[in-house]
Amino acid sequence: MWKYYVYSYDKKNVVPLVLMDSNLPDNNEHFRKLTDQLYRSDQVLWRIFQRSILGIGGMKAINELKTEIDCYHLNEGHAAFALVEKYIQLADKAQMDKEKKKFVYTCHTPVAAGHDRFQISELQEIFTDDYVDAAKKFGKESPGSQDVNLTYICLDNCRHVNAVAQKHGEIMRLQFPAFAKRIDAITNGVHAHTWVLKVLPIYLINIPGFSVIGALILTGLKKQGDFLRMRIFVGIFFRRIKSINVSY
């Protein structure tokens, strides 16, 4: 594990960031590459290993750090095995309903690649029986299902579920009608103090016509040609910034 600290722009607040790394001498060459690249989808077993590191490994890492957690945020269904690990760790399984209230889930995309499904037979190649049984308990959409749906684990077991925009919320309710009443929508944003170039707002205010960049971003790039025009526009924009000395 690697631990970093992310500070607020005014340095008054800090959040610890813990990263997990499989590139260790004790691991064989194959496993050392598991954390080299996010979300590889060309090999099923590779995907299961990565989701296991994120969900199961993440919960174990929190335990090792002796960190008290009031809320676990599953940012996309890829981390769903965290719920499985929490269940495995409980000596009294009846406490799981209480533990579920600590989990919240954010869904980011309607695209199939963001919603993992694994055949039970595939999980059996990697997991011990207790993990397979727990994954089946929380991830089977119906008694006769032969796969485990990580998105379903999150939707059915987290106390709060949200999409990342109002429109995405509408789409998500259509995509998962059984959970429509539970799905909230929280529009994603950016941390302006660290994301926006400091000179940018001043430049836009003082140069008539350049505020159109805001409209372009908000409206979205709807056609392929828009991307090229946007690249040309931004290129001209930043060349002009270099030619002007602005104090801030």
Domains within the chain, CATH numbers bracketed: 2-185 (3.40.50.2000), 196-242 (no CATH)
Q: Is the pLDDT of residue 95 over 50?
A: yes
Cα torsion for 155, 160, 165, 170, to the nearest 10°?
Answer: 50
pLDDT number for residue 30 = 86
Each residue's pLDDT tens digit, 167-207: 999 999 999 999 999 999 988 776 666 666 666 665 555 65
Tell me which residue of 53, 130, 43 sits closest to 93, measured CA to CA: 130
Q: What is the pTM of this model?
A: 0.77
Q: Is the pLDDT of residue 239 over 90?
A: no
Each residue's pLDDT tens digit, 135-159: 999 999 999 999 999 999 999 999 9
Q: Quote the Cα angle for 40-44-49, to 5°.
A: 75
